Amino acid sequence: MREIVSALQQIAGLQPTPLPQLRLPSLPDFQAALPLCEMIAAGSPGGRTLVETAQSVSADRELVSRINDSAAAHVEATRAELLHLAGELGQQALQVLPRLLAPVPGAQAGGLLELQNLAGSFTHTAATRVQELQELLDPLADDLDRVSRTAHTAPLPFSAEEPPVDAAEQQPQAAVEPTGSGEAAVAAALSQVGTPYVWGGTGNGGFDCSGLTQWAWRQAGVELPRLAEEQDVGTQVSADELIAGDLVVWDGHVAMYAGDGQMVEAGDPVQTNPLRTTNIGMAFKGFWRPTG
């Protein structure tokens, strides 16, 4: 029975530590900075920058909470599976014990060998499950590292003689008409407004950002790459050339232009927001029009 006791100890030692419950403070509403900024200096980008930064921090806060919840669920599932493995090992070992006392020649040796095999099999299964947990947690840890490296500061590179041009305030040129496929993609995306955010979701009960845009354009007959940073495909366009269906791409997020200065994106839940070019410190890759 020494092998079984040792295996149980090894499985117990593999138990991951439960993650603490994460409690993040809420942020104040910085929208009041916009009219105040206009009162102090008309057209000053300071208030707008403050609000965009606050929105970025809020988005980071939501992302960190989702990552923590996902990681905690993975950890608890692994803990439950390891406990189940330990219990199953104990039950199967008890069934072998009578053979160790049987007077039949060879029964004791056979029982000892079976106990050794049980111990090896269950410890291997437990170690494999812990390795799978590590593989699930690694990308979540990478996302947390990216958030922690994000500096929520927005430089103001424009001089007084060259005022900034906000992409969200740009209107499409009248000569540029939406394509049928772009309108179909937008209609599909808007039909999912209110759908929960699901990490890695592609439509089975929820979406992540690139899952939504990929699914919506698929409804229009165009297949996009899976990852957000890979969806800068087709034709790059400027802000004043935007039409319905064009993608707004960062190096870790993607949204879809819906027209009238709005975009639809998989936040939590899927929602529409004013067009922007900032997103939690990510590098902006531009506006892209997918083509079949």
| pLDDT value of position 261 | 92
Q: What CATH number does residue 203 fall under?
A: 3.90.1720.10
Number of domains in the chain: 2
204 shares a domain with 86: no
Same domain (yes/no): 100, 202: no
* Residue where a domain stops, chosen among 149, 183, 200: 149
State pLDDT tens for residues 76-131: 888 888 888 888 888 888 887 777 777 776 777 787 888 888 888 888 888 888 88
Residue 70 has, within 13 A of its CA and on its CB side, a CA count of: 20
Same-domain status, 143 and 8? yes
Rounded distance between C-alpha atoms, residue 166 and residue 159, angstroms: 14
Q: Is residue 184 part of a domain?
A: yes
Which structural domain, as residue segments, surrounds residue 112?
2-149
Residue 152: CB partners within 8 Å, gap ≥ 6?
53, 56, 57, 60, 280, 281
> What is the pTM (predicted TM-score) of this model?
0.43
Co-location of 178 and 128 in the same domain: no
Phi-psi sector, 289: left (phi>0), alpha (psi -120 to 50), beta: beta
